[in-house]
Amino acid sequence: MEIIPAVDIRGGKCVRFEQGDYDRETVFDVDPVSAAQRWQAQGARRLHVVDLDGARDGRPVNSDAVSRILAASSVPVQVSGGVRDVATVRAHIEAGADRVVLGTAAIKDQATVLDVVARYRDRIIVSVDARDGIVRTEGWTEGSEVGAHELVAELAELGVSRIVYTDISADGMLDGPNFMAIAELLELVAGLPSQIKVIAAGGVSSLDHVRELARIGVEGAILGQALYTGSVDLSEALNAASS
The conformation of residue 121, written as its DSSP 8-state character, comes to G
pLDDT at 9: 96
- What is the average per-residue pLDDT within 140-167? 89
What per-residue confidence (pLDDT) applies to 27? 86
**Catalytic residue check, 85:** no
28-56 burial code (b ≥16 CB/10 A, e <16): bbeebbebbbbbbeeebebbbbbbbbbbb
pLDDT at 142: 67
pLDDT of 26 > 90? The answer is no
The model's pLDDT over 88-126, given as tens digits with 9 standing for 90+, comes to 999 999 999 999 999 888 888 999 999 999 999 999 999
SS3 4: strand
Domains of the chain: 2-242 (3.20.20.70)
Considering just the CA atoms, what is the radius of gyration of the chain in Å? Answer: 16
- Mean per-residue pLDDT for 183-191? 96
Amino acid at 241: A
Catalytic residue among 53, 129, 167, 171: 129
Q: How far apart are CA 21 and CA 47, in angstroms?
A: 22
CA atoms within 13 A on the CB side of 58: 9
Exactly one of 8, 51, 167, 171 is catalytic; which is it? Answer: 8
Closest by CA to 133, choosing from 117, 141, 145, 118, is 145
- To the query of whether residue 8 is one of the catalytic residues in this protein, the response is yes
